[in-house]
Amino acid sequence: MLELPNEVMVKLLAYPFPGNIRELENLIERLYVMSKNGTVGIKDLPARIIRSSESTSLLLKDAEKRHIAKVLKLNKVKQRQTARDLGVAYNTLMKKVREYGIEV
């Protein structure tokens, strides 16, 4: 059995796997064969997965962060207008900005 710590799972979930399911299957097989005692660390992942950034992440929180930042930029950092454009309350927008560390 293969044990994947949280930090490894986060990297795997953030990677878009352009090769689809085959790429994921091949990676899991490789990790299993190369692992010691069935445990995988960050250092065992390929460099392309370790370097994968938020801009390619398919996680909802990363997509939401990118979208909020984009709308803020379009509105020249006018927060109330951005909240209206996003269809959320101003307080909700500000909570998300703080949560995601978006600079305003």
Read off the pLDDT of residues 45-88 as tens digits, 9 standing for 90 and up: 998 888 766 566 777 888 899 899 999 999 999 999 999 999 99
Q: Are residues 69 and 96 in the same domain?
A: yes
Q: What share of the chain is helix, strand, coil (3-state, %, to 5)?
A: 65, 5, 30
Q: Are residues 24 and 42 in the same domain?
A: yes
| Within a domain: 1 | no
Per the structure, the complete domain to which residue 82 belongs is given by 60-100
The CA distance from 83 to 60, in Å, is: 19
CATH of the domain at 79: 1.10.10
| DSSP classification of residue 55 | G
Q: Are residues 16 and 32 in the same domain?
A: yes
Q: Are residues 10 and 49 in the same domain?
A: yes
pLDDT, residue 95, reads: 97
Q: Are residues 49 and 65 in the same domain?
A: no
| DSSP classification of residue 56 | G
Give the pTM.
0.53
**What's the total number of domains in the chain?**
2
| Within a domain: 95 | yes
**CA–CA distance from 77 to each of 1, 65, 67, 71, 97 (Å)?**
49, 14, 13, 8, 11
Q: Are residues 48 and 64 in the same domain?
A: no
pLDDT, residue 54, reads: 58
Three-state SS at 99: helix
Q: Are residues 30 and 48 in the same domain?
A: yes
Q: What is the pLDDT of residues 13-57, one digit of tens each?
A: 888 887 788 999 999 999 999 888 888 988 999 988 887 665 667
Residues making up the chain, counted from first to last: 104
**CA–CA distance from 82 to each of 9, 10, 63, 97 (Å)?**
33, 29, 16, 11
